[in-house]
Every structure is written in C-alpha cells, then in structure tokens.
A and B are shown apart, each in its own frame.
Chain A
C-alpha cells in the first residue's frame, strides 16, 4: 500500500485516495472544432510508460481535493506531490 502525501492533508495511506489518470491530458476547450483524431486521443489513448509518470489523485476519503503526483510506475517511488496549480 502506497503512502501518498496530500498537499493539503499530509501523508496518508493509499486507501484514502482514488487514482485519476494521466495529469498531462488536456481536455479540448468547449465549443471548439476538434478533429476526430484529437478527440479520440483525448478520450481513449493514454501512454503507459515504465518509469516516471505524472498523474492525478483524488483525496476521496479526506479533503476531496484533486492533486498531481509524480510517481515511478515500476518502483512506485513517489518523487513529488503538488497542488493542481503548481508544476511537478
């Protein structure tokens, strides 16, 4: 079980959090023309890197804030956790 540092609450066990996927994905802006390829990339396609990965987590049994985590997908090492508006 991972230990994740919520930027608002501090270190907590993984079972308080929900995983939220790749943090670098940007939703296309509303009301704009989006090509089918770009839209499908946004909805369906994700990289699955071995190693460093920027991802979103939700402190669902805590402060209910979403935040960003830099984690190694192979070793589970967590390098950094930051608020959404901060850079990883």
Chain B
C-alpha cells in the first residue's frame, strides 16, 4: 500500500521526481521531497503514531503544523537522537529515522493502555490526590512508577555532534508570519524604505493563501503571494526567513526566533549550523501569526484518523495527501466546506455534518451544487476503531442541541472537524498585551499594547481576506513611516473571496444515551470534558487553578488547540460567559526549541573564555597540571616522572624553602592609577595610610566593603608622585576595578584620578627562596640587591637582556622573594632567562598548590579567609586598620557585633596524631560526642601539608581564638564521618617573626 493515499490533483510544492526513503518504527517507507514526516506517513496510510500521555490511548495526527498536539516522535538514532519532535514540523529527508515514543513494548500493543481501561482511576488531580501520603512513598515507589508510565521520549546521553549558532539582528519592522496580512505588512513597510525581517515558520511563504480559494487582483491568491515574495526578495532592505519560528517576545521589543537551517538537507554543508537562534531587536513588531482551527469535543474524538478540517485541506493541497477516502466533515461553521470541496475534486464524496440549522454561505452552496451530502442540525456522538477510526455514531440534534434525537452508526476512515478559528495571540500576550474577548468570533484578540507591536489579520480576529490585507498594508505603512518618514504608500490590491455565514456557538456534543465516552479537549495532556467538570465540582474556580489541577493547556503545546474549548467548558459549567472566566497566561516558547539552539556555541571549551598567560607554552612543555583560577589556566603543579600530586607539591614547596622557586603570577589583577589625587584615592579605599608612601616603594593594603567586610588585598607601588601600580587578587581583579570606577565617578567625582586595567599588559614571575638574591644578582648584575639598597617592599627599574623590567621585592611565600614584571610580549622570554640562570641554584617552577602550602604555613590569608564574612579583626588584619583617617567601610567597624571580645579570630591547627589531614570546611567543636546541634566554634579555611615540619597544618577562624592557643578541639566533617583531635597553635606556623622576607 505504498503511498496509496496520494491525491489525483498535483501542485507545485511536492517534487515527485525526488523519492525519499525513510523509516518509521523499523519499517521502510517512501515519500517525496517536500513532504513532512506527517504527510509521508499519512500518504502511506500510517495514522497510528504514538500513545497519549496519561491514558496511553492510540493517537495519530490532528493537525498539519505547529498546532499538532499528538504526533510526537523520537527522531534519529544514536548521538543525534531527539525526543518529542512534532512530526508535522519535520521535513522529510533521505534516510530519516523516526520512532514512536511513550509506548511499550510497541505502539500497537502498549501495556500502559490498562491506564485507559482503568481511566476512572485517573481523573483530574489524580496525582495530587493519590500520592499525597505517606511522604516517604514518593521517592521510592510513586515517582519511579509515574516516570516509567508517563515518560515521553528519551534524550540522548552522548554529546550532540551538531553545531548551533546565535545571531543578532536589528530591524525597523519585524513581521511574524507570511500569510496575506504578513505579506501585506512586509510589502508596505519595505516599499516605504524600512529595514524589514519577514519570518515564516513553514518551508513555504504564503500562509492561508496557499490553501484558500481566493483571488487577488483577479488572479489566484497563490500567484499574488509568489509575486510578492519575489519582489521582497529583490529588495536590499528585506530579510526573508522561512523555517523560522519567532517563539519568544521579551522586553524592549527583543524577540527570539529559531531557524531550522540544515534539518531538511540531505547532506548539509559542513560550515552551516544545524539550527540558528536569532535575537531580533525590532523597532516595531507586526504580529501576523494567523489563527488555529478549534477542534470539536465528542465521544472518542481522539482516535487516529480524526483531523482538523483545515489540516485535511492542507494535506491535500500542499502535500497531495489524503487523510482518508471515506471522510466525514463535522463542523459548526462554513470554512470546513473547503475541505469537503477539495475531497470532491479528488473524486471522494464526503458526508458533511453541520451543527447549524442552515447556512447559505458561498462554500456551502458550492458544496451542495457539487452533490456533496450536507446534513444540518447534526453531529458526531461517538466513534469506534481501536487503532484508527472506522465507525462513527452520528445523528440529528434536538432543537436545544443538548441531546441527540436519533443515532446511527456509519462507516468512515476519517473525521475532519472544525469548531471555527482561534487567533494566535501567544506573541502579543507574551509582549504584555492585555487580551479582550471578541464575542463575534468567540475568541480572545489583542487589546491594549504595552510594547511596540501591532497584530493584524486573523491573529487579530479579522478573518476575511479583505480585512487582513487592509490591516496589513495599513500597519506596514504606518509603523514603517514612524521610522523612515518616507510617506511611500502601497496600494491595497483588490481581493475576492467566499462570503461566509456565522458559526454556531457549540463546541461540545452531548453524550449518547447511556454511554460515557471520553470527549477530549486537550489532546497533548489527555484532558477530557469530564476532567474539567470534576475540577469545577471539587471547588476549583479560577481558570489558573483549573489549568494546573487538570493540566489543561500546559507544557509544550501551550493550549494551541485546547485553550478556548477548555475555557468554554468551564464557562458552560459555571454558567458564565467566557470573558468572565478569563484566560491563562501564554508563556514562551510558543513551540518547543532544542536545547542545542538555546545554548548555541557556548559548549565545551567555548562555554567561557580560557585565559592563558604568555608563559603557557613553557608550562605545557614542562608537564604542568592546570587549575582554573577564574577564567585563567594556572599551573597547579608540575609532576616529575611518577610523582603523585602530594609528592610533587611537597617537592616544589620544599625547594622554595631551601633553594629557589619560580611561579607564574601573571593572572594577578593589575590596575594602573594616575592623577594628582591618586594617593588620596588609595588612602580612601585602603584601610592603612598611603599619603606618605615614598616613590619606588610598595605597600601591602587591605580594602573593605562599606559593610566592613574585607573585600580584597594586594600590594600597590608608587612609581612616581602621581602614578601607582596596584595589584589585586586574581579572583577580584574585575570587581576591584569596577569598585574604584564607582567611587571615582559616582561618589568622589572631584578626585582627579584615572584608573585602567593593566593585567594583560604585564607578565609576572615570582622568584622566591633563600637563593633568590643570588639568582637576581646574576640576572641583573648592575643592581645592588643588598637589603640596605633594596629592602623588603622596594621597587627597581631594570633590564633583563635588553628587555625593560620592574623588580618588586615582595613575597607571598614568606621567603626572601622578588617579583619581576615585563611587557607581556616578553613574558616567555623573561621566564626562560630566569630558568636558565637559575639552574645552578636548583630553581624549580612551583604551582598554585605549593604556593598555597607556603602561604598557609606563614599564616597569610587568601581567598578562603577573605570570604566576604570577615572583618579585619577576624583574620588577623586589624593591625592594618588606621585609627587616624577615614576610609571605605570604616564606620561599619564600630558595630557592636564586630567588637565582641569573643569574636572569632585566625588560628593555626595541627592534628594531635601529626598525621591526619584536616578537610577544609570542617567545623571546630569542643566535644564530638554531644547531642546535636553541637555548638560550632569556628571552621577550617585552608589546609596543607607543612613541608617545614612534615605534618598537616591548617588555618581556621575560631571563636575567641587568641585565648585558645594550646587547647585541644575536634575538627569534624559529619558528612564524611570524620572527627580529628586537633591542637590550636598560632597561625604563623613558620618563621613567626617574619625574618626571612627581610633577610
């Protein structure tokens, strides 16, 4: 039965010369270029696609585009496998593989279908009611069962091999949707000189013009559409994007659109992304998103083979596909007759059941004149057919249309239903537009706008072609003219269309006597009329509550086909009119968007920038293991041979203590400060005094936030009277710069100072250890390195083999140390020169681990101690706080709590067994056996293996720490079940008097 459901009529959209092979549920099928997965399956007579979410009922296709709630498939296999893809949105491509989801073991025999037989146990709010108690059952019993039973598709566990891109666009007018009103808007705006983007979700531009039988300027609507698109394409100020869905509308006219770039191409270009996300900032947005047909509710209206009438029409006209050969058309309005007529043109005689008592609309008359049987005051009560509809119970309605007079069962292979049209107001609602109810069309339309957006055409409830064109041309001209002021008007073409009569306000059929079949409203979330009735009966009044209790209109579908039928049902029961019931909020995305598209290129190494120092190549060649310090890659340690990290770190640290080591300190933040008030600025941002710092001298400084907490520390050097070089920690570099800019620009604009980051301009190497002076003498033979001439905190200009350098005698390791800075371009050169000259002194590079060991042994505070919760006193920095001057945060230090005599302070800890390492973050307690909560006295901030004493050593903040030296406490880490007896010692474990740095 290969493609036996193709129409006799042909069109220009399918390319029948290109046959495409694809697989569905393991079977091979054929389709044509231009098909969607949906149209190709239907052409092959395949209607059973998947199982429904809650009851596992067999489901097929309802629609033909984004409105499709049922036909979700698992697409592709392996690392490209993708769940929950709407089959109507998938263009057929050679070798496509699709599978049903939400069914087990197969779509035809699904075990979960017992849910359907037991459906009286799955009413609205079922999950809430059943699984409330006992709480402990949730994790172990209920949740796994629900997940297994309610699982949708399965995400691939391997990385996505495809590439996705982000793009930023700006335009004067964005037109969303290329139906008649969208084309009119784009044409009018473009002719008036505006920069226009026209976005169309489908592969073809034209919207309803491609399927409606209308005339524009005395030619078929399709021809006008084609001509208009050709003209727009020729204009340099227009971007046309098909396969592009605008799915989100955010503040300040920022809209987001995703484009399916390569999905439909058999062998996509290596250089093209799979999908692209466009951020479009538009001056004006014209929403011409059209409308979606409303389903009707009747018994078992969810069987495969039951379609929207417009979908059946589009399958025939665009995809040359018949949704059936023995159709029933069931409608409450005129537009469904288009499908009836199209069937007839393909020599198929449908039966039309019209809820109305009569209609003399043009289409109705045409259908009758073609010999199509039309029964008025009639409807469908129920259907039969396990995996596809094969019978319908139909009958005449009584005069009040709340029961059937007589019923008969007839054969059919499809039912095409129409409950009128719902304007697609999702985007205008997302923009903040309040909606209003239009009782002529029984639907919500945009009302008061919040942003620069205008809705036209059927999205605005204007269902005639004439109105759509007029609104489109008007909006396109008016809005573009606000921007271009060119006053170039485009003439509105003459249009001709069928006259229609009004619809009947009935969307739900009465139940047949003595039967209680489910009448579905929301197909995706399996919500039936009875669920809404139950929710209202149980006291839910607000539509937002009913939505959540029944799940009506939620998730990926966003109520595209179900929203109004749900509201109508609630209003029927509550005996209200729909606008009194109100409506729920539409949220982005309008249609599901792949995670890959949202993420774009920001995956793996591109997740964030990687910053490498100029010396990186050397580290690489010398076996460095890296750590991330902010965005920087810093060598953590340099293992030799089979060394473990522990061994390597101890070797590196010990070599600094005994000989000399070199450490790449380029990543430290550097800020160049210039201007006559530079010293004054430093005096205000640091806690200590700066006015009298001599030229050529460095000083250590501590900065606070206004709340008194330590913000950052570092050394700053006076290079000349009005020129300073500040260093910050690697982590706070950007924040310190922003902090200085804030005070200079906002708080003290009278200060004449300029600050600029110079982190990237200089490459730095710390040379530390007792032999560092000898090495420096060798490198800089013209400089006198005696302490008298070059004391601790001194600074000298120098040259290293002809390259200008600055030498700072500063130390983080606590050893005699120098830091050499050169222009970044010479960073690697300087490093190599130092290594070469240092060989005879036993120089070794050391990484951040050894650096940490050295500073912890010396009791120097760093990031773990400067955690934003410490005032200077807490971490032994109170000596740095000037009593004589004011500075940022000083007033906060007067707070009573910050002067509590028992306040925590910095201490050292040594395990009593001298062996057990103390995990960072451990809490300090008096007794590790008492009943919880055990009062916490402090916490361990940094831990290392002391290379000086060859035992573990930690620093910690401890309540009343200075009076606890010599005391024994427990360091506990309850999650790891660790308790270690520790002795409190002074934090300066090595060289407590600081003699080495001054040597």
Task: Please list the residues of chain A having a beta carbon within 8 angstroms of any beta carbon in chain B.
Answer: 1-3, 13, 18, 20, 27-28, 30-31, 34, 36, 39, 42-44, 56, 58, 60, 64-66, 75-76, 78, 84-85
A-B CB contact pairs (8 Å), 29 listed? A1-B252, A1-B254, A1-B279, A2-B251, A3-B252, A3-B281, A20-B742, A27-B747, A30-B684, A30-B886, A30-B887, A31-B885, A31-B886, A34-B891, A36-B894, A39-B892, A43-B707, A56-B746, A58-B738, A58-B741, A60-B738, A64-B741, A66-B742, A66-B745, A66-B746, A76-B252, A84-B746, A84-B749, A85-B749
Contact partners of A27 in chain B: CB under 8 A: 706, 747
Contact partners of B706 in chain A: CB under 8 A: 27, 42-43
Chain A's closest residue to B892 (CB) is A43
**Cβ-based interface call for B576 (8 A):** no
**Cβ-based interface call for B434 (8 A):** no
Given A75-B432, A75-B450, A84-B749, A2 contacting B891 (CB threshold 8 A):
no
Interchain nearest-CB distance for B170 vs A (Å): 9
Rounded to whole angstroms, the CA-CA distance of A13 and B15 in the bound complex is 44
Rounded to whole angstroms, the CA-CA distance of A18 and B738 in the bound complex is 10
* Majority DSSP secondary structure for residues of A touching B: loop
Task: Please list the residues of chain B having a beta carbon within 8 angstroms of any beta carbon in chain A.
Answer: 250-254, 279, 281, 432, 450, 684, 706-707, 738, 741-742, 745-747, 749, 885-887, 891-892, 894
Contact partners of B891 in chain A: CB under 8 A: 28, 34, 39
Chain B's closest residue to A23 (CB) is B746
Are A65 and B252 in contact, with the CB atoms below 8 A?
Answer: no
Chain A's closest residue to B706 (CB) is A43
Interchain nearest-CB distance for A67 vs B (Å): 9
Contact partners of A39 in chain B: CB under 8 A: 891-892
Rounded to whole angstroms, the CA-CA distance of A84 and B885 in the bound complex is 28
Contact partners of A1 in chain B: CB under 8 A: 250-252, 254, 279
Contact partners of B450 in chain A: CB under 8 A: 75
Interchain nearest-CB distance for B556 vs A (Å): 24
Rounded to whole angstroms, the CA-CA distance of A31 and B746 in the bound complex is 18
Contact partners of B894 in chain A: CB under 8 A: 36
Report the 10 A-B pairs with minimum CB-CB distance, sorted nearest first: A3-B252, A30-B886, A31-B886, A66-B745, A76-B251, A1-B254, A39-B891, A27-B747, A43-B706, A66-B746
Known contacts A39-B892, A58-B738; can you find 12 more A-B pairs with CB under 8 A? Answer: A1-B250, A1-B252, A1-B279, A2-B252, A20-B746, A27-B747, A30-B887, A36-B894, A56-B746, A60-B738, A65-B745, A84-B745
Rounded to whole angstroms, the CA-CA distance of A43 and B738 in the bound complex is 18
Contact partners of B742 in chain A: CB under 8 A: 20, 58, 66
Contact partners of A28 in chain B: CB under 8 A: 891
Contact partners of A30 in chain B: CB under 8 A: 684, 886-887
Contact partners of A34 in chain B: CB under 8 A: 891
Contact partners of A20 in chain B: CB under 8 A: 742, 746
Interchain nearest-CB distance for A24 vs B (Å): 12
Contact partners of B886 in chain A: CB under 8 A: 30-31
Contact partners of B885 in chain A: CB under 8 A: 31
Contact partners of B749 in chain A: CB under 8 A: 84-85
Interchain nearest-CB distance for A74 vs B (Å): 10
Interchain nearest-CB distance for B710 vs A (Å): 15
Chain A's closest residue to B741 (CB) is A64
Rounded to whole angstroms, the CA-CA distance of A84 and B887 in the bound complex is 23
Are A13 and B738 in contact, with the CB atoms below 8 A?
Answer: no
Contact partners of A58 in chain B: CB under 8 A: 738, 741-742
Rounded to whole angstroms, the CA-CA distance of A75 and B894 in the bound complex is 41
Rounded to whole angstroms, the CA-CA distance of A64 and B742 in the bound complex is 10
Interchain nearest-CB distance for A28 vs B (Å): 7
Rounded to whole angstroms, the CA-CA distance of A18 and B253 in the bound complex is 20
Interchain nearest-CB distance for A58 vs B (Å): 6
Contact partners of B252 in chain A: CB under 8 A: 1-3, 76, 78
Rounded to whole angstroms, the CA-CA distance of A76 and B115 in the bound complex is 48
Contact partners of A3 in chain B: CB under 8 A: 252-254, 281
Rounded to whole angstroms, the CA-CA distance of A78 and B706 in the bound complex is 29
Rounded to whole angstroms, the CA-CA distance of A1 and B281 in the bound complex is 10
Rounded to whole angstroms, the CA-CA distance of A18 and B891 in the bound complex is 27
Interchain nearest-CB distance for A60 vs B (Å): 7
Chain A's closest residue to B683 (CB) is A30
Chain B's closest residue to A15 (CB) is B279
Chain B's closest residue to A34 (CB) is B891
Rounded to whole angstroms, the CA-CA distance of A27 and B742 in the bound complex is 12
Chain A's closest residue to B744 (CB) is A66
Interchain nearest-CB distance for B393 vs A (Å): 53
Interchain nearest-CB distance for B669 vs A (Å): 15
Contact partners of B747 in chain A: CB under 8 A: 27
